[in-house]
Amino acid sequence: MSRTDAAGHPETSGCPGCGAVLAVVPGLATDHPGASPSCAGLFRVTVRGLREEAAQDLRAAALLRLATDAYDAQHLLSGTPAAAPVRLCLELERAHDPRPAAAPDGRVDQAAPRSLTPPAHWTTTVADLAADLDVVDLPALVHAWADAVWHDWAPAHRELRAAADGALTS
């Protein structure tokens, strides 16, 4: 997955989470477990505007949350609770539930399955998102990305939906 330049330094590397192949930025450290530094950095830049607006704008805050859950659902560490795909389920499929839609994170963590195998292939990554940002609005891109990530998790939908319902009712 990685190419090297003449001096033997890698020019690109594949993200261990989402598989996005991105240029290696020398000296860039990752702030996201399960992600390559370049991938985590690209996500940080892509949602920076949302992060700045989120304090005053509820829609930006909801969009930031959806983007973060989509990103986290592609960068799970094995053996940790699959809380991010459970939150995606709540946001995409339980948004109109009459019960409080936002199950507290602690409950989601408790209900989240721990032994799921993440999808081997992802339809859309943050690299696709960033590439389309010039021609498509960020909200439309984030929603399409979140839908694609949730769809990629399809083999585990039964467990994830059960956990989402558990987080709502427990």
Q: Is 27 exposed, middle or buried (0-12, 13-18, 19+ CB in 10 A)?
A: exposed
| Interface with Zn ion, residue 92, by CB under 5 A | no
Nearer to Zn ion, 17 or 118 (CB): 17
Nearer to Zn ion, 73 or 167 (CB): 73
Q: Provide, rounded to whole angstroms, the least separation between the CB of residue 25 and Zn ion.
A: 14
Total residues at the site for Zn ion (CB under 5 A)? 6
| Interface with Zn ion, residue 17, by CB under 5 A | yes
Candidates 4, 68, 13; CA nearest to 36 is 13
| Interface with Zn ion, residue 18, by CB under 5 A | yes
At 59, list the tokens.
Answer: 């829609």
| Interface with Zn ion, residue 66, by CB under 5 A | no
Among 13, 24, 38, 39, binds Zn ion (CB under 5 A): 39
Tell me which residues touch Zn ion (CB under 5 A): 15, 17-18, 20, 35, 39
